[in-house]
Amino acid sequence: MWQELTNQMIKGDFKSLARCISLVENEVPGYEAFLQTLQMANTTIIGITGPPGAGKSTLTDALIESYVKDHKKIGVICVDPSSPFNLGALLGDRIRMSDWYNHPSVFIRSLATRGSMGGLHPKIIEVTDTMKAAGFDYIIVETVGVGQSEIEIAGLADTTIVVLVPEAGDEVQTMKSGLMEIADIFVVNKADRPGADTFVRNLQQMLAPAFHNKEQEIPVIKTIAFQKEGIEALKEKIENHNSTQNSQRKNWLQAEKAYHLIKNIRMKDINKDELIKEIEEAGNNFNLYRFIEKYK
């Protein structure tokens, strides 16, 4: 089964790719061997993050259109909020991108966060690598926009884009120690709104101290995504960033992914419900540090 699906996926069959992703998500026997045999293409992963309402999905839609016009093959992973009832994706992003649902050069997959606090799916690395093996030119990963904990995207994407809007002045202050530090590119979307130029200047001033800790300046791009304005300038900055990445940065990305996967393996046998049960049984004799000793 796995070999046949792999062969069809490599040939560009989206149904086989979707099936492989589902099998990996659900840890169907054989998925680990499947992942170990994947041949990774040199695919650029673009992470798009930022607060709710910033227009991340509209920006993603505009990027898809532009890349398709360049005859590129695009994969999109939309990490949607989970349903509180079944932990499935609410699929809001896929509705916004419905124009591309049946396009032969675009594959869109919605994943649920399944309660993950990082704004990403627990199997996001494995899913992304599966898609890389399918030969996409670009893979865009759009996260749910939950706040500072979303810095997890920095360990996945080759280029991380943080999307803001002109009204986000107060939010930027609170994000300074989180999203502000992981951005490779800032996008000020809805730049036709009042105060956009002032916001861009303030953002650039705020970023000035960070330039000393980066190999290159962090660009700030103005866009009006629903009108497709600023998209070409954004694509240019994405290409510039990718072309200047050194081996140290690439090795750091791989180390982050390896750390995440190893942590998941080590924690696989830990069940919170079982922990609660054991703590209840311990009663007044419970000591947190004696309790965790057996798990070391």
Q: Confidence class of residue 104 from pLDDT cuts 50, 70 and 90?
A: very high
* Range 87-116 average pLDDT: 68
pLDDT in tens, 147-171: 444 556 777 889 999 999 998 766 5
The answer to whether 208 and 180 have CB atoms below 8 angstroms apart is: no
The residue ranges of DSSP E strands in 83-216, in sequence order, are 106-112, 138-142, 159-164, 185-188
Q: What is the pLDDT of residues 37-92, one digit of tens each?
A: 998 778 999 999 888 888 998 999 999 999 999 999 999 998 865 443 344 444 45
pLDDT at 95: 55
Q: Cα-flanking dihedrals φ and ψ of residue 154, to 5°?
A: -65, -25
What pLDDT is attached to residue 248? 82
Confidence of residue 113 (pLDDT cuts 50, 70, 90): low
Give the domains, in start order, of the chain with CATH numbers.
1-36 (no CATH), 38-245 (3.40.50.300), 250-296 (no CATH)
pLDDT in tens, 16-36: 999 999 999 999 999 999 999
pLDDT recorded at residue 213: 54
| The one-letter amino acid at 34 | F
CA-to-CA separations, 284 to 154, 200, 217, 239, 280, in angstroms, rounded: 42, 56, 56, 59, 9
**Band of the pLDDT at 211, cuts 50, 70, 90?**
low
Q: What is the mean pLDDT of the chain?
A: 83
